[in-house]
Structure 1
Amino acid sequence: MAKENGKQETSQSIKVKITKKSNVQPKKKIGRKECQLVTFDLPYLGFFYNQKLLIYKGNGSDYEETVTKLKEGLSKVLEEFYQLAGILARDDDGVFKIVYDDDMDGVEVLEAIVDHDGKDGDHDGMMVSAEELASKEISFMKDLIPYDGILNLEGLHRPLLAIQLTKLRNGLAMGCAFNHAVLDGTSTWHFMRSWADICCGANTISLAPFLDRTKARSTRVKLTIPEAPPQPESVALQPLREKLFKFSETTIEKIKTALNSGKRDDIPPFSTFQTLSTHIWRAVTAARGLKPEEPTAFAIFVDCRKRVSPSMPESYFGNLIQAVFTGTAAGLVTGNPPEFSASMIQAAIKAHDAAAIEKRNKEFEGNPFIFQYKDAGMNCVAVGSSPRFKVYDVDFGFGKPERVRSGTNNRFDGMVYLYPGKDGGKSIDVEISLEANAMEKLEKDKEFLLDGEVV
């Protein structure tokens, strides 16, 4: 299949045409800055760039004016978040670091239009609307996000952040690709909200990023890059499907009440996250049709900012997450009441305290290696992102997003992303990637869906 501007063209996805490529640097001179990557960052070098897609319905603003405003705001916000305008490097000992200098290219910005059969799509009738895209699967929209299939190790030669702004009939699609070795979800949305605030007229950001990673971990880890770095399998080679399941606040409360009514008195109440995680783990395990004796695992990427000692501020900029695992036989998950699985998840999260984090760090530092993004375990359900991230508050001055999604990178059979629902309250959107047959069963599982909506 042909490629144009580095984008893979398929009949299953919208096509785009890149009309302009530029780079954005911090507005003011900063000079040379270096920041050592620490133990919390290094496991993600073998992952893909972390992709986010925000779809906006315009307020009548001209596309070119909007792009100019976004780039001006980006230049301003990069004065504080200048690390995103740098590149990865290694010192003579093989220790990874972020290097920024004023003469570097900065953030890559791509401007694009929808391309229909080679036509430019300038006419409104040739373009798609924000509402149409908001209801599509991410595989259809993958060309709206840059750096598809690019490993974070490529940050040695590429910008650490790339942004694609695609013109829609009545709005704009903002695709972002962040180098995951540089930041986690908390830092991603801190940056996005700060950028939006600047675009809305703020002179300064409300919360400056805490940039000294060595306060969380000072150990210098010498990491050797193999001659042939591990290449994650392409999602395109796997028979995967991705769906968005929307759970209302009422539905979640119903599940949570039922779960807590069956728990033992000596167990603390199950949280909303533990409740929904249990609901997903049990349903996916059943949909996979596993034999009772087959293993199944559950993984959560836990924010460690308040778990490390001393604790780090919410504004800590970088990765301060670790994967927490639990698992058992599939038959025990599906055959027992839901509080059985919920207790396992609750216990795993509680046990990941400062001592457990320190132990994990020392184990990695004693034998550092590059993970692959799918090293979660057999028959795993892995939860990333968080409904705590206020993704629908990212308003650049033309309204809240119609939809916020994760891209196709870093997806494997059992990967789950959680986002707050657009409707607000305690509603939650659940993105799930599964093998095609299992997904078909999950979509028909009335006990899983309840009154939820599938997009």
Structure 2
Amino acid sequence: MKHSLSLALQHYFPLVGKLTWSPQCTAPEIVYVDGDSISFTVVESNFSFHHLCGNHPRNANEFSPLNTPLLPRSSTTGEIIYPLLAMRVTLFPNSGICVGLSISHAVSDAMTAGHFMKLWTLFCNNLEQETTSLFSHLLPSFDRTTIIKPPGIDTTYLNFLENINISQQSFLLPTTPTYFGHDKVVATFIMDLPKIKKLKKWVRSRIIEINKKEPSFNISTLVVTCAYVWVCLIKALGGDNSREHLAIPMDCRAHLDPALPETYFGNCVLCCFATTNKEDLVGEDGIVIAVEVIGKAIHTLGKSVFDDLHNFLDKFFSLASERLFVVGGSPKLGAYDLSFGWGRPKKIDYISATTALGYITLFECGDDGYKGLEIGIAMEKAEMDAFTSFFEDSLNNLPGQNSSSMARLSKI
């Protein structure tokens, strides 16, 4: 694993670099120097591998030993530097192996990280072979010459950093807000294909019934799943806030003009924001309303990703000061296709999301023949019990459905 990792990093060398802000530079930069390295830790655990791989509620603290955090440190010249990548491999004797990846969004988004992991596993499976023809489609593209940035965007973002007290003199980045507690649990819920088809069909018919016309956006699997989970979360968590917000990341490579290659190296993600009244979301047609605001938000951002870029960070932090749910991961990453030679992963978990309130993680289902989505949620146990009840029951109590139509739909 170490040898194949070194081969993959030769192509993804910026991941071995450091994020810093030197006195000579007007902005933070990623610096790679020949000979740089990453942290690669191998440990053994006697904890239950099968327990951690389950979908049932598990204590969030049980996941913390599986990853190596990216902690800042001082360089020899006194500058604060941040590592960008760290690996931790945990062996569970006679049970399995956990490969933990910590990667900074300053250098990479999930698409880049996914291509890097695929290249690593490809090398691991083919160390004795000539693999050039096998991995050429995974080589990163570092070309940024075609990206036409909005005028003044660099200054806008530097001013934003200054406003939150991040500067060359004080280069201390905020960490993800944690939500640890003895009762904090993480669980995985399955949205299988019959449920998705049923929800899509019902949502479309309700939109036509209410608006007297076809929806103007795509009622996709992502849209209906996010809407359903969002509404269940709001009902489970309660609270006295009047507005609710959901941030959904969008890979913008294909939406730029000209489009960037799929293997573009870097962070090419923006969030679209869905906002509406809480009262509407917990009402009879809350799922339909959630689908509409999410679908329209994705459609609008997809048409022109740079339109509101100057205000993106201000908007994100402003909504985060209220109640903002954030979607992480993506079913398009093909995370369960990774194999170091031992077969498909038994479970993929987004560990950093288990330490932050308001994260929803989405991956494709790990079972080969089980089409659908895996949804990861973390919260207090009492809240998890409430969410589980809403998640399991809401689909069986959709407005306008009678028992016979429900029976028919369940067989789709």
Q: Tell me which of 363, 372, 380 is aligned to 1:427.
A: 372
Matched, 1:398 2:326: no
Structure 2 CA distance for partners of 1:93 and 1:233, relative to 1, 3 Å: same
Q: CA deviation at 1:243?
A: 1.7
- Please give the alpha-carbon distance, in whole angstroms, between the structure 2 residues aligned to 1:375 and 1:151: 27
The 8 Å contact of residues 130 and 169 in structure 1, kept in 2 or not, is answered as: no
The 8 Å contact of residues 393 and 400 in structure 1, kept in 2 or not, is answered as: yes
* Partner of residue 413, structure 1: 357
Q: CA deviation at 1:423?
A: 1.4
Matched, 1:142 2:64: yes
Structure 2 CA distance for partners of 1:304 and 1:376, relative to 1, 3 Å: farther
* Partner of residue 18, structure 2: 87
* Partner of residue 255, structure 1: 199
- Please give the alpha-carbon distance, in whole angstroms, between the structure 2 residues aligned to 1:409 and 1:177: 12
Q: Deviations over 1:38-89 (max 9, x none)?
A: xxxxxxxxxxxxxxxxxxxxxxxxxxxxxxxx11111111121111111123
Q: TM-score, normalised by structure 1?
A: 0.72
- Please give the alpha-carbon distance, in whole angstroms, between the structure 2 residues aligned to 1:417 and 1:152: 30
The 8 Å contact of residues 152 and 181 in structure 1, kept in 2 or not, is answered as: no
Q: Deviations over 1:172-214 (max 9, x none)?
A: 1111100111111111111111111111116232321112345
- Please give the alpha-carbon distance, in whole angstroms, between the structure 1 residues aligned to 2:311 and 2:289: 30
* Partner of residue 131, structure 2: 203
**Within-5 A mapping of 1:319-398:** 319-337=267-285, 338-353=287-302, 355=304, 357-363=305-311, 376-398=320-342
* Partner of residue 242, structure 1: 186
Q: CA deviation at 1:239?
A: 6.6
Structure 2 CA distance for partners of 1:447 and 1:313, relative to 1, 3 Å: same
Q: Tell me which of 98, 102, 107 is aligned to 1:173.
A: 98
Could you tell me which amino acid in structure 2 is paired with residue 141 of structure 1?
F
- Please give the alpha-carbon distance, in whole angstroms, between the structure 2 residues aligned to 1:354 and 1:258: 27
Q: CA deviation at 1:281?
A: 1.2
Q: Tell me which of 286, 303, 313 is aligned to 2:261.
A: 313
Structure 2 CA distance for partners of 1:211 and 1:158, relative to 1, 3 Å: same
Structure 1 unaligned regions, length at least 5: 1-69, 115-126, 451-455
Matched, 1:164 2:95: no
Structure 2 CA distance for partners of 1:435 and 1:131, relative to 1, 3 Å: closer
Could you tell me which amino acid in structure 2 is paired with residue 302 of structure 1?
M
- Please give the alpha-carbon distance, in whole angstroms, between the structure 2 residues aligned to 1:161 and 1:389: 19
**Within-5 A mapping of 1:249-328:** 249-264=193-208, 265-267=213-215, 268-291=217-240, 294-328=242-276
Q: Percent identity?
A: 25
Q: CA deviation at 1:238?
A: 9.5
SS at match of 1:323: strand
Q: Deviations over 1:131-153 (max 9, x none)?
A: 333127343122111107x4799
Could you tell me which amino acid in structure 2 is paired with residue 161 of structure 1?
L
- Please give the alpha-carbon distance, in whole angstroms, between the structure 1 residues aligned to 2:72 and 2:350: 16
- Please give the alpha-carbon distance, in whole angstroms, between the structure 2 residues aligned to 1:419 and 1:396: 19
* Partner of residue 400, structure 2: none
Structure 2 CA distance for partners of 1:295 and 1:153, relative to 1, 3 Å: farther
SS at match of 2:207: coil
- Please give the alpha-carbon distance, in whole angstroms, between the structure 1 residues aligned to 2:247 and 2:315: 18
Could you tell me which amino acid in structure 2 is paired with residue 195 of structure 1?
W
Structure 2 unaligned regions, length at least 5: 397-412
- Please give the alpha-carbon distance, in whole angstroms, between the structure 1 residues aligned to 2:122 and 2:256: 30
Q: Tell me which of 43, 60, 74 is aligned to 1:112.
A: 43
Structure 2 CA distance for partners of 1:239 and 1:380, relative to 1, 3 Å: farther
Higher-strand-fraction structure: 1
Could you tell me which amino acid in structure 2 is paired with residue 110 of structure 1?
T
Could you tell me which amino acid in structure 1 is paired with residue 69 of structure 2?
Y
Higher-helix-fraction structure: 2
Q: CA deviation at 1:258?
A: 1.9
